[in-house]
């Protein structure tokens, strides 16, 4: 997200809901949904598309409950692929996806990703704060 080209062209986010739990389900209150939906609209990027994969019965029920509370902007950015990898591959090149998403790219190194997020948490918060102020 630090690259001007990325901010100009947009980002695709894969939301893997394989381990969706009752704890997350209980978090889905109207207030939490409205706040989260509003915050997602704030990030200074041309376009962010959320690709939802590996859904479960519980998650599908959650979406039906949450849908009325999401902004139209968020609804337009959600793509549901379930476990249909060819559908996901229509939007994201399988050459960059890890094998767990039907791709031929490298495995995800979660330790490296976590460390990067930890190392850049101040910068990420600063960017979000700037966007909140500038949109008022």
pLDDT tens sequence across 14-46: 999 988 888 888 887 778 777 777 766 666 677
pLDDT tens sequence across 77-134: 899 999 999 999 999 999 999 999 999 999 989 899 899 888 988 887 776 665 544 4
CA distance 77 to 49: 5
Is 114 part of a structural domain of the chain?
A: no
Residue 129 structure tokens = 């704060």
Is 46 part of a structural domain of the chain?
A: yes
pTM of model > 0.85: no
Is 135 part of a structural domain of the chain?
A: no
Is 80 part of a structural domain of the chain?
A: yes
Q: Cα-atom radius of gyration of the chain, to the nearest Å? A: 16
> How many domains, the chain?
1
Residue 24 structure tokens = 């997350």
Is 134 part of a structural domain of the chain?
A: no
Domain that holds residue 79: 4-106
Q: Is residue 53 scored above 80 in pLDDT?
A: yes
Torsion of the alpha carbons at 126, 128, 129 and 135, rounded to the nearest 10? 140
């Amino acid at each position: 997200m630090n690259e001007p080209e990325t901010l100009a062209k947009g980002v695709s986010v894969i939301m893997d809901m394989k381990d969706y739990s009752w704890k997350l389900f209980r978090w889905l209150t109207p207030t939490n949904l409205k706040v989260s939906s509003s915050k997602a609209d704030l990030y200074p990027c041309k376009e962010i598309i959320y690709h939802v994969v590996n859904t479960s019965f519980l998650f599908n029920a959650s979406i039906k409950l949450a849908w009325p509370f999401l902004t139209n902007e968020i609804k337009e950015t959600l793509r549901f692929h379930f476990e249909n990898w060819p559908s996901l591959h229509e939007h994201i090149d399988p050459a960059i996806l890890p094998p767990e998403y039907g791709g031929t790219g490298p495995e995800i190194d979660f330790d490296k990703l976590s460390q990067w997020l930890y190392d850049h948490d101040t910068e990420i918060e600063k960017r979000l704060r700037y966007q909140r102020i500038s949109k008022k």
